[in-house]
């Protein structure tokens, strides 16, 4: 599948360990790039390292004659910081990384966002290759080139648009995800379904049991569907300038505020699930959709065992509407101080909407 961006176009290869897209394809993919690759640094986290995925990728690179060192950071959102980026820039110097080297990000969205940010800045930009191993990263974060780190007070607020040279997705890695992390990915999958693709929504309604059982062909279908939606949107609005790409942020205005308030202890995909339901509630209040739509959204989330309200998020500390609204005002969709939300307008469709009366948002939070 192609992400079509003129000279920054790249392929997303999706497969499983038994198919063409296995981790062992990493070397072949890098060898087929127009500019020769002889040296890589593989970035991963300590969980993914233990599971052996980074080693498999490094071995595949070695088989293609590409030299690769492995750099390991602590797993989790706390690594998406300037401090970790700083230690990685230093490590890249120690590893003699030059402008022909490639940074290979093997892990979840944290490793992809952090690795991409480090690659975008080191020597004013070296190539990077996404090898996502979580459902969230396979359906969303590895595609589209949003890279970055968090500030303590604002998520994803330092970063760049910086596209990878390729994305390699091996869906067999999803077998080792714990249930919470799997649910995080499903939060993003439900986001695509409700806001952008009713046929995906219907598939999830029919096949929820197969999804939860992680049936390989069902997972393959879902990952393919989500990547296709994202590749299409990114190809048409890479830098989020027309409002199209902003639609991928359904549920995110609420989600980012909850994540920041919890000091990033609330997991992103679970916050997105709650945010999607709250955004639908807001759309009902503003007369954009009816209650039946809200019920269907809640039902979908429950069938995928996703949280549907803030009190379903165990890591969310005590909060009040004023605090959450203040955090929302730092959202990247704010323009001239005015809050914008991605709100559903019908099943599988949504729009970026300015909400003039902030009391409506307050009421939704307090309901
Ligand atoms: P993550 O990278 O922290 O991974 C979640 C956990 O799963 C980690 O502990 C990791 O070690 C572990 N893990 C990874 N692969 C595994 C596997 N195959 N088996 C078992 N454990 C595995 O988090 P995530 O949910 O993948 O990504 C969340 C991040 O992605 C957030 O920072 C979010 O802001 C970002 N994000 C970015 C974009 C984008 O477009 N760039 C989009 C969505 C989310
Ligand atoms: N995850 C939203 C985007 O990539 O634009």
- Which is the closest atom of ligand 2 to the Cα of 140? 1
Residue nearest to atom 26 of ligand 1 (CA): 108
User: Would residue 215 show up in a list of annotated catalytic residues for this protein?
Assistant: no
HSE toward the beta carbon, residue 351, CA cutoff 13 A: 9
User: Which residues are CB-neighbours of 263 under 8 A, at least 6 positions away?
Assistant: 152
Ligand 1 center–CA 234 separation, angstroms? 20
Answer whether residue 18 shows pLDDT above 70: no
- Which is the closest atom of ligand 2 to the Cα of 240? 5
Is pTM beyond 0.85? Reply is yes
Rounded Cα distance between 104 and 85, Å, is 15
Q: Which of 80, 146, 191, 340 is catalytic?
A: 146
User: Would residue 39 show up in a list of annotated catalytic residues for this protein?
Assistant: no
Mean pLDDT, range 7-25, rounded to an integer: 83
Mean pLDDT, range 256-273, rounded to an integer: 94
Whether 248 lines ligand 2, by a CB cut-off of 6 Å, is yes
pLDDT of residue 278: 98
Answer whether residue 17 shows pLDDT above 60: no
Answer whether residue 315 shows pLDDT above 70: yes
Whether 51 lines ligand 1, by a CB cut-off of 6 Å, is yes
Answer whether residue 336 shows pLDDT above 90: no
Mean pLDDT, range 104-117, rounded to an integer: 98
- Consecutive H or E run containing 261: helix 252-261
Answer whether residue 224 shows pLDDT above 60: yes
pLDDT band at 75 (very low <50, low <70, confident <90, very high): very high
Ligand 2 center–CA 141 separation, angstroms? 7
Ligand 1 center–CA 185 separation, angstroms? 9
User: Of 250, 108, 114, which is closest to residue 184 (Cα–Cα)?
Assistant: 108
Q: Which tokens belong to 203?
A: 């598939």
Express each pLDDT in 280-298 by its tens digit. Answer: 999 999 999 999 999 999 9
Express each pLDDT in 123-173 by its tens digit. Answer: 999 999 999 999 999 999 999 999 999 998 788 889 999 999 999 999 999
Whether 160 lines ligand 1, by a CB cut-off of 6 Å, is no
Name the residue of 56, 84, 128, 136 to mutate for ligand 1: max ligand atoms within 8 A of Cβ.
136
User: Would residue 210 show up in a list of annotated catalytic residues for this protein?
Assistant: no
Ligand 1 center–CA 137 separation, angstroms? 6
Residue nearest to atom 43 of ligand 1 (CA): 141
What mean pLDDT is reported for the chain?
A: 95
Q: Which of 182-196, 198-212, 290-304, 348-362 has the lowest mean pLDDT?
A: 348-362
Q: What are the backbone angles phi and psi of residue 29, rounded to the nearest 5°?
A: -65, -50
Q: Which tokens belong to 58?
A: 């490094």
Residue percentage of the chain with pLDDT more than 70: 97
Express each pLDDT in 34-62 by its tens digit. Answer: 998 999 999 999 999 999 999 999 999 99
Q: What are the backbone angles phi and psi of residue 277, rounded to the nearest 5°?
A: -65, -45
Ligand 2 center–CA 32 separation, angstroms? 27
Mean pLDDT, range 331-359, rounded to an integer: 86
Cβ proximity of 247 and 276 under 8 Å = no
Whether 146 lines ligand 2, by a CB cut-off of 6 Å, is yes
**3-state secondary structure (DSSP) of residue 338:** strand
- Which is the closest atom of ligand 1 to the Cα of 155? 34
Cβ proximity of 138 and 171 under 8 Å = yes
pLDDT band at 19 (very low <50, low <70, confident <90, very high): low
pLDDT band at 104 (very low <50, low <70, confident <90, very high): very high
Name the residue of 47, 49, 108, 149 to mutate for ligand 1: max ligand atoms within 8 A of Cβ.
108
Whether 146 lines ligand 1, by a CB cut-off of 6 Å, is yes
- Which residues face 42 on adjacent strands? 70, 104
Name the residue of 164, 167, 245 to mutate for ligand 2: max ligand atoms within 8 A of Cβ.
245
């Amino acid at each position: 599948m192609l992400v079509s961006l003129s000279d920054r176009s790249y392929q997303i290869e999706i497969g499983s360990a038994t198919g063409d897209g296995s981790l062992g394809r990493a070397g072949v993919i890098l060898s087929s790039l127009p500019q020769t690759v002889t040296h890589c640094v593989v970035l991963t986290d300590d969980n993914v390292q233990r599971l052996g995925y980074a080693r498999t990728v490094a071995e595949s690179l070695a088989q293609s004659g590409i030299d690769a060192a492995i750099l390991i950071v602590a797993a989790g959102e706390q690594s998406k910081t300037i401090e970790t980026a700083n230690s990685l820039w230093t490590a890249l110097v120690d590893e003699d990384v030059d402008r022909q080297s490639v940074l290979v990000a093997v892990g979840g969205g944290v490793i992809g966002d952090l690795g991409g940010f480090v690659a975008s800045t080191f020597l004013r930009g070296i190539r990077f290759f996404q090898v996502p191993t979580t459902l969230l990263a396979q359906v969303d974060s590895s595609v589209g080139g949003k890279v970055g780190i968090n500030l303590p007070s604002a998520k994803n607020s330092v970063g760049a648009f910086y596209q990878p040279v390729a994305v390699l997705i091996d869906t067999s890695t999803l077998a080792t995800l714990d249930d919470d992390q799997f649910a995080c990915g499903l939060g993003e999958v439900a986001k695509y379904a409700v806001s952008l693709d009713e046929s995906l929504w219907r598939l999830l309604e029919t096949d929820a049991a197969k999804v939860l059982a992680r049936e390989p062909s069902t997972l393959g279908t879902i990952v393919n569907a989500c990547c296709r939606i994202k590749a299409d949107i990114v190809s048409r609005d890479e830098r989020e300038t027309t409002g199209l790409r902003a639609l991928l942020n359904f549920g995110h205005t609420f989600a980012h505020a909850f994540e920041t308030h919890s000091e990033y202890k609330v997991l992103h995909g679970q916050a997105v699930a709650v945010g999607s339901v709250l955004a639908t509630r807001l759309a009902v209040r503003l007369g954009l959709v009816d209650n039946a739509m809200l019920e269907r959204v809640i039902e979908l989330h429950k069938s995928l065992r996703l949280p549907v309200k803030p009190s379903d998020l165990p890591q969310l500390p005590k909060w009040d509407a004023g605090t959450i609204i203040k955090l929302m005002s730092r959202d990247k969709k704010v323009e001239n101080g005015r809050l914008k939300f991605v709100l559903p307008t019908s099943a599988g469709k949504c729009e970026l909407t300015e909400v003039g009366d902030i009391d409506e948002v307050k009421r939704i939070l307090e309901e």
